[in-house]
Amino acid sequence: RRSGQYTMNHDHSKKIPDGASFDRSGSQDSLDELSMDDYWKELENIHETRGNNHEEQVALVVKEPDEGELEEEWLKEAGLSNLFGESSGDSLESMVFLSTLTRTQKAAVEKRVETVTQTMRKRNKQHQIPDVRDIFRLQNDSKGKVCDGSEPSTVRTSENKNETHGGTKGPKFSLGTDEQKSLLEDVPSSDTDINLEISFAEQAANLKDSSVGKMYKGGGGDTLLPNFRLPKDKTGTTKIGDLAPQDMKKVYSLALIELTALYDILGTEFKQQKAVKIKTKDSGLFGVPLSLLLEQDQKKVPGTKIPLIFQKLIAQIEETTLETEGLLRIPGVATRVKGLCQELEAKFYEGTFNWENVKQHDAASLLKLFIRELPQPLLTVEYLKAFQDVQNLPTRKQQLQALNLLVILLPEAILLLFQVLLEFLQRVIDHRDKNKMTLKNVAMVMAPNLFTFHGFGSKTIEQSEFVMAAGTANVMRFMIQYQKLLWTIPKFIVNQVRKQNTESQKKEKKDKAMKKLLKKMAYDREKHEKQEKTPND
């Protein structure tokens, strides 16, 4: 079945440039026949490798969620599970968190709470179900400003919930105060400046009816990718590894809410997928869960954060020279790659494997094989579809903003591996004059390795792979080109975390003062009682 499917893809490759087999609109640039041919050839190579490596490959089951389940899961992921269900209540921590949200973020939370609430009512749950309006009442009654400088929003009630922001009657997502509006007006008008101070969803809402930001919708070739940059910030930029784990947890929640709000505003569905657990190998190098692989490595080299085999394969490729023509594109010999794979499994940790016999193209094939054979896709089951859907967003700037938020959502181990991979791919591209591997070529070759996942079975590949080939290659191109921007935590999210910490500290201070007062009162009462017993004293 697989064989037929891949042959079909390759046979069609010659027809693609003339036909309309995939949508060329939006960000899907016109990619020349040679580039697309690279993509289909890579798919064929992948298939050949799998054909020679027929050890049990278990399909990963992606669970279809029940009604409301997706939204429940989303609220849990965002750290807001106490807004519904048996645990619902006025958790002060959640109230502090909600008070820092922007209008569009609040609207995203409200939308999901409303769906869960309606689902629970249908299920006739016995516990108390909060009204979505009550959840935000605390912030709406307060006269304080939310973190982006805007006044807290009045959320939609159930009577007007069907009037979307796209219509004339829906709430306008303006930024509220004159100060904040002027901040938006003062932002450099250059379409290549990435503004990190204002919520991406708020920017999208303000630009929705404007033509600003749509200059870079089409076009192809490396040179036509806009030179996006971050304007200099006196306070510096915050990178993903800069914050403490407890703050990163808050960043994760805010990034998830912000990404959802951005997709809501732009009319793109954001759905996290959930994988049913499957049996995986419990030792070895290829096809082993990343967490388990790192555990094995840390026994050998304490503190290892990037799998040793991955590091060694990159070093082996670079040791020869990055100027080799067709590097990453030309595959190793399939039977030899299979033999090396088995030999590595047996000898790598013993230190008896002879690396001198490994040819450069074979090492490159092994590197790609390592990525493909992970039990779950490198970009995770949860977010792989969201990464693919980035291509459907209207402007390149919004695509980059969405990728920035998606990268923040990746688990730390995956994030570090992905960063090392992108940096390596950039080094390959830096030698394009000699190796003939331009940004576009490298993206074409690497996209199938990241975006087609063996565990999803052939149905997904048949239906979406052919259609989405150019789109996923463009997402890959974006991630390589703008990788330095991807590791940056937007300033508006950092500010929201700071505000949450300040509010929590105030609460802590109040609690301490209250405890001190109660302690003093108890001590005074005790002293008074003693004095009553011994009046002479």
**In contact, 173 and 205? CB cutoff 8 Å:** yes
What would the two tokens of residue 375 be?
């039990």
β-strand partners of 275: 62
Q: What is the mean pLDDT of residues 250-273?
A: 90
What would the two tokens of residue 105 be?
């973020």
Q: What is the mean pLDDT of residues 494-507?
A: 86
**In contact, 282 and 126? CB cutoff 8 Å:** no
Confidence of residue 112 (pLDDT cuts 50, 70, 90): confident
Does the pLDDT at position 44 exceed 60? yes
CA dist., res. 4 & res. 396, Å (int)? 36
* pLDDT reported for residue 60: 59
Interval 137-154: pLDDT, tens: 555 554 444 444 444 443
The larger pLDDT score, comparing residue 34 to residue 239, is at: 239
Domains of the chain (ranges plus CATH)?
65-84+91-123+195-206+228-276+380-416+438-531 (no CATH), 279-374 (1.10.555.10)
Q: What is the mean pLDDT of residues 403-422?
A: 95
Q: What is the mean pLDDT of residues 441-453?
A: 88
Does the pLDDT at position 168 exceed 60? no
Does the pLDDT at position 443 exceed 70? yes
Class of residue 123 by CB neighbours under 10 A (exposed 0-12, middle 13-18, buried 19+): exposed
Helices (H) and strands (E) in the chain, counts: 22, 4
Interval 209-241: pLDDT, tens: 554 444 344 434 444 677 887 777 777 788 888
**In contact, 173 and 103? CB cutoff 8 Å:** yes
* pLDDT reported for residue 420: 96
For the chain, give the percent of residues with pLDDT over 70.
68
The larger pLDDT score, comparing residue 518 to residue 158, is at: 518
* pLDDT reported for residue 96: 78
Q: Over the chain, what is the mean pLDDT?
A: 75
Q: From residue 110, give the alpha-carbon distance in Å to each of 99, 135, 137, 220.
A: 13, 8, 12, 40
Interval 338-394: pLDDT, tens: 999 999 999 999 999 999 989 999 999 999 999 999 988 899 988 998 998 898 899
Interval 288-341: pLDDT, tens: 999 999 999 999 999 999 999 999 999 999 998 899 999 999 999 888 999 999
* pLDDT reported for residue 158: 36
This prediction's pTM: 0.75
Does the pLDDT at position 32 exceed 70? no
Question: Which range, 120-134, 182-196, 385-399, 415-429, has the best average confidence (pLDDT)?
Answer: 415-429
Phi-psi group of 284: left, alpha or beta (phi > 0 → left; psi -120 to 50 → alpha; rest → beta): left
For the chain, give the percent of residues with pLDDT over 90.
33
SS3 state of residue 459 = helix
Q: What is the mean pLDDT of residues 264-269?
A: 88
CA dist., res. 282 & res. 194, Å (int)? 43
